[in-house]
Amino acid sequence: MNKATLLIGIIILALFTFGVINIVQNYQTGNELDYYLLKETTEAAMTDAVDIGYYRLSGMLRIDKEKFTESFVRRFAQNVNNDRSYRIRIYDINETPPKVSIKIDSTTAATFNSETLGISNQIDAILESKYEENKLITDLIRAGKLDYSQIDT
């Protein structure tokens, strides 16, 4: 009887250990997948949001805030896991020079005492190029003779 109880105890301990390992592995791989998804989606959305007309005239990069937000949310939604819930927080978007700060919070399916495990990833991304200042364009802008709202993109 004593050996049977010990065997049952070992089996229960093994099942508990496998459960904990599964939760930890889900948390770690989820964190890694969320980070790379955030990184790649941000880079692609920033590239999509570049204002081509402004770049042609001045040689400097500028992104459109609305276009970036739309592209980011669309791309992120296409690539997420369905077994998690996500919260996207966009803290800062600078048009010139192009910089964004984004935080993604996701919750896993595991709960302890009615508390869910959360994963947070934050990224600050800057889109860079070789900036060349066009003296003629800069002088026209300062003089008020050049209006970028008339440019077709």
How many whole angstroms separate alpha carbon 146 and alpha carbon 111?
58
Whether the bond between 97 and the residue before it is cis, its omega within 30 degrees of 0, is: yes
Type of residue at 30: G
Q: What is the DSSP track for 60-97?
A: ---B-HHHHHHHHHHHHHHHS-TTSEEEEEEEEEETTT
CB atoms within 10 A of CB 13: 10
pTM: 0.69
pLDDT at site 84: 79
pLDDT at site 55: 79
Two tokens, residue 150: 């008339």
Give domain limits for the chain: 2-150
Average predicted confidence (pLDDT) for the chain? 81
Assess contact for 33 and 63: CB atoms under 8 A.
no
Q: Which of 30-44, 68-82, 125-139 has the lowest mean pLDDT?
A: 125-139
Q: Work out whether strand 99-112 and strand 85-94 pair parallel, antiparallel, or are unpaired.
A: antiparallel
Bridge partners, 126 (sequence order): 99
pLDDT at site 112: 66
- Per-residue pLDDT for 151 more than 60? no
Task: With cut-offs at 50, 70 and 90, classify the pLDDT of residue 153.
Answer: very low
58-117 pLDDT, tens per residue? Answer: 777 889 999 999 999 999 989 887 777 889 999 999 988 889 999 999 887 666 667 777
pLDDT at site 136: 67
Two tokens, residue 68: 């970036």
pLDDT at site 1: 63
Spacing of C-alpha 84 from chain mean position: 15
Give me the percent of the chain exceeding a pLDDT of 70.
Answer: 79
Task: Please name which of 70, 122, 133 lies closest in space to residue 96, comparing C-alpha atoms.
Answer: 133
